[in-house]
A and B are shown apart, each in its own frame.
Chain A
Amino acid sequence: MKTVVQAALVIVVLSAIGFLLGPWQTDIYRKLLLWIALALSYNFLFGVAGQVAFSHFTFYGIGAYAIVILVTQVGMPLPLAALAGVALCVVLALAVAIPATRLDGFYLALATLALAQLFIVFLNEGGAVTGGTGGLASYRLPDIAGVTLSGPRYTVVIVLLTTLTWGVISRLDRSWFGRACRAIRDNPQAAAAMGIDVARTRVIAFTLTSVLAGIAGMVYAFVDNTVNPPIFGLENAFLLLFMVIIGGSGSQFGAVIGATVLYLLPFVLAPLIGHHHALVFGVVMLAVILVQPRGLVGLVKSRPGAGQ
């Protein structure tokens, strides 16, 4: 009960912020919350389950494109389109994850890297369906039960997404499944000896986190009401990885810190030092890896795994 009240309080506070901010700050706030949601699910895949995959941002894109295409071109009602989008993410994630269980470490990274590149090629060559290099635009979120979700109301939707992602990941992490993922990450042979189905656990972790990324993508699609290939490119996939590493791999709180610091860094530094913020990014990255391998969360926590 206490947890529910606390969660409701977080949602109210985060939503209230959305009502207080001006248009520019709201835009930053919404996109920051989406980055946090992505970092949380990717942290589980990379930091907890130990899978080095570069397809997380691809599933973000699949979710975004899927809902736009299904609503605007196929004419599906929004709830049905959302369900179909989730189903698509599940199918694609399984298609990648099942053969990928034969792969590990470096090879899984390469396989998912190939998927990410293939997705961009598909978007660029998708003709009228994907809009090609220009992407899709000129659409809007359909009214839901007669309610238009725009402005601060849509910020509430993003807040709900982020807090639900936190909740789901938190539950997973503390469950037997989370412990199984950590055991596999640390020593797959020992985990198998303990009776954990390594392949199945890996597939479930990959699929679940990919679906969470896909749902975040569906919400992103209606932030600027346009989707295009550069958004879902490899550059952002690597930025997501850096967010998790800098924040503190394996820590949910670290994922929030990493996403917040790296997303806001250019906005804060650019007015002060211009485009040299890119240099600061590199220096921060190196400093964290060399000085505090547990990430920024390691600076505020004294024991490993605390805050999970």
Chain B
Amino acid sequence: MLIRKLTAATLTAGLVLTSAAPVATAQTQGPIRIGVITDRVGPAKPYAEPVTLGAAFAAREINAKGGVLGRQIELQIEDDQGRPDISATMARKLVDAGAVMIISLSLSTATQQAQTVSLETKTPHYTPSNSGDTLTTQIANPWFWQTGPLGSTQVATLLSYARTRNLKRVALITETSGLGQMTARSFRDALQRNQIEVVAEEVVPSGATTAEPQMQKIRAANPEALFMAGVVTPENVLMLRAYRQLGLKMPILASYNMSVPVYSSVAKGLLDGIAFVDAFDPARPEARRFVEAFRKDQGSDPYNLHGYGYDGIYLVADAIRRAGSTDKEKIRDAMQSTRGFVGVMGSQGSSYGFAEGRRTGFDANGMVVRLYEQDQQGRVVHTGAR
């Protein structure tokens, strides 16, 4: 009886799955379909959504100028819910739907899991925003590229800035998230390599209501500067509030997380003077043009995350144009031969390019250190990791 019911249930599920089967479209005419995997409900949503918006804006701009190879670009955007297993499922859906390229804008781990599909199906796959250092090395996937600035580049840029300040004794503070801990570890290792002593290291636990005990210990250690490695906004705000309340004066050097402009509203009055690492230089001519065009189209100013998506679509369009067709193999060759591609991201004069044998394309000296001025992200005070 039960087995009969189980059979009926599974057959029904099978029918649902079969009826949902998409029809793969030939990519020789009509719009060029580019698949986008983003996170619209999961943990990467705050980052993935602006990147996706930037990508959609770029596609509209390109289409308004006549498209690529005389064809319009069509973005098929799929939500992986920030779940790596669903990301792989969505990659298969996009391949079935005839996408000539998959662009991943979700979590780094989700992008990695989707890579198993791009490798198997030989579909060009690219992330313009993920910063995971091992995305192009953990899986030997010649169909995958990454132009998000690597985590190691971020740390190297901040350390390069620290060297210009001749720092010898610093403190390190983070929170308990996995990424926060990992960032702190990268900072600690890099500081030690640069013979900079970490005189205090504090962690603000998840759900804390104050960071004053941690900041008091840091004050007692009397460091010359404070490195902030936290990536969770509420805990970072607690750190900044405690720093101000205790009247601390040592400079703060913050991770890439502080480049997200949400801090201007949630940490109002706490930000002045903080140095943070970023991949966006607002003085760069290409960035200025992008800001203007985006503002005109959307009625609001873009920030660094929008720029990643924007550059990503333009870089892919450039590769398809150079490939001269939507043949996946030709697109792969064109992607790999990308050199000197100038986008809106990066320091002045920097460009994207994939060196021989490498599939990471962000300029190692393309990041900048900026200052918060009057609670707004301000000028660039340092460029590159040299």
Contacts and interface: CB of A to CB of B under 8 A. Distances in A.
Q: Which of B96, B113, B181 has the most CB of A within 10 A?
A: B113
B108 A229 contact: no
Interface string B109-125: 11011011100010000
Q: Per DSSP, are chain A's interface residues mostly helix, strand or loop, or mixed?
A: helix
A231 B85 contact: yes
B17 A10 contact: no
B138 A17 contact: no
Interface in A7-27: 7, 9-10, 13-14, 17, 20-25, 27
Given A228-B84, A274-B40, A134 B22 contact: no
29 contacts: A10-B10, A21-B18, A21-B21, A22-B21, A24-B92, A25-B17, A27-B89, A28-B17, A124-B181, A132-B182, A133-B178, A133-B179, A135-B109, A138-B139, A224-B85, A225-B116, A226-B84, A226-B139, A228-B84, A228-B113, A230-B82, A230-B84, A230-B109, A231-B83, A266-B81, A275-B41, A277-B41, A307-B2, A307-B5
Q: Per DSSP, are chain B's interface residues mostly helix, strand or loop, or mixed?
A: helix
Contacts, number: 149
A302 interface: no
Interface string B1-21: 011111101110110111011
A20 B93 contact: no
B132 to A, nearest CB: 6
Nearest to A260: B13
A257 B259 CA distance: 45
Contact of A256 (B6, B11, B79, B96): B6
B79 A224 contact: no
Contacts of B92: 23-24, 27
Interface residues of B, number: 53
Contacts of A267: 20
B25 interface: no
Contact of A21 (B17, B107, B116, B181): B17
Given A23-B95, A131-B138, A133-B109, A6 B3 contact: yes
B7 A10 contact: yes
Contacts of A268: 16, 20
Nearest to A8: B3
A215 interface: no
Interface string A253-285: 100110010001011101000110110000000
A138 to B, nearest CB: 5
A17 B117 CA distance: 21
Contacts of A7: 3
A124 B182 contact: yes
